[in-house]
Amino acid sequence: MIMVMQHLYLIPMLVSAILSLKAFRLSWPVAYKIFSIFLFTALFTEILGNLWHYYLHSFNGWHYTKNNAWIYSASFIPQYGLLMFVYHQALDSTIMKRLVIWAVVLFSLFAIFNFCFWQKAFVINSYTHILADVIMLSLVFAYFEQVRKEKGLVKLSAQPMVWISLGVLIFHLLSIPYLLSIEFLYQNFRSLATSFIYVYLLFIFSSYVLYSKTFLCPTPRPK
């Protein structure tokens, strides 16, 4: 039962990835096609991470550590690079588009450095995750400010990018206190830290439910 609860978040991840194929089938704008690739990248990472932990680390006579943190840490660049490029497409400001490019470059360099030299491969690179949180929240607020200034948006709930941004906002806003406190909790209150993992998985579950709603919206018009 506990194992089932630990993996419930995979259901909305799978559903959102499948629904996102609509972006290609109905020729949605590029931002949503990039977002679809992000969803499949995230889903593949989770599947690979779980397969490694339970099976692949010891397969066909080959044995290695069960630690799958390196898979998640190595996935930060493709996942968050794609998500940042979603906002590169969604934001109208030329300055913001340039800032997104710089954010992708600097984030990638930091992620590589952290993976190789600082926190290294076999722990979840929380510093990289926190940097991604800050960048993504900045892009979400920039998008909502753009929406606030736009004229002619009648129904926000019919705008797919709004649902993406709500999912990004929930996950990244709630992740920051979790990531800042989890190391301290593991060192001093291990049982409490373990229970907090379920809270983190709830963040993921909630975000991907919102991502699924993205592709239940009417086909967006290109700007």
173-185 residue pLDDT tens: 999 888 888 777 7
Residue that wins the pLDDT comparison between 162 and 150: 162
Q: Give pLDDT, residue 223.
A: 62
DSSP assignment, residue 56? I
pLDDT in tens, 140-153: 999 999 998 887 65
DSSP conformational letter for 8 = T
* CA pair distance 11, 15, nearest whole angstrom: 6
| 113 vs 59, more confident | 113
User: What is the DSSP track for 114-175?
Assistant: HHHTSS-TTS--HHHHHHHHHHHHHHHHHHHHHHHH-S----GGG-HHHHHHHHHHHHHHHH
Tell me the per-residue pLDDT of 66-86, one tens digit each, with 9 for 90 and over: 788 899 999 999 999 999 999
pLDDT at 115 over 70: yes
Model confidence at 47: pLDDT above 60: yes
Q: Which residues contact 215 (CB under 8 A, 6 or more apart)?
A: 16, 19, 20, 22, 23, 32, 160
pLDDT band at 4 (very low <50, low <70, confident <90, very high): low
Q: Which of 6-15, 72-81, 152-161 has the lowest mean pLDDT?
A: 152-161
Q: Give the pLDDT of residue 25.
A: 93
Residue 132: the pLDDT is 97
pLDDT at residue 192 is higher than 80: no
Is the pLDDT reported for residue 61 higher than 70? no
88 pLDDT tier (thresholds 50, 70, 90): very high
Alpha-helical (H) ranges within the chain are: 2-6, 10-20, 22-25, 30-51, 69-74, 76-90, 94-116, 126-149, 160-188, 190-214
Band of residue 62 on the pLDDT scale cut at 50, 70, 90: low
| pLDDT confidence bin for 64, thresholds 50/70/90 | confident
- pLDDT, residue 187, reads 74
Please state, in angstroms and rounded to a whole number, the distance separating the CA atoms of residues 204 and 110: 24
Is residue 7 scored above 60 in pLDDT?
A: yes
pLDDT at 50 over 80: yes
Domain spans of the chain, in order of start: 2-57+64-214
Phi and psi angles of residue 15, each rounded to the nearest 5 degrees, phi first: -60, -45
Q: Is pLDDT above 70 for 3? A: no
Tell me the pLDDT of the chain averaged across its residues. Answer: 89
| For residue 29, pLDDT beyond 80 | yes
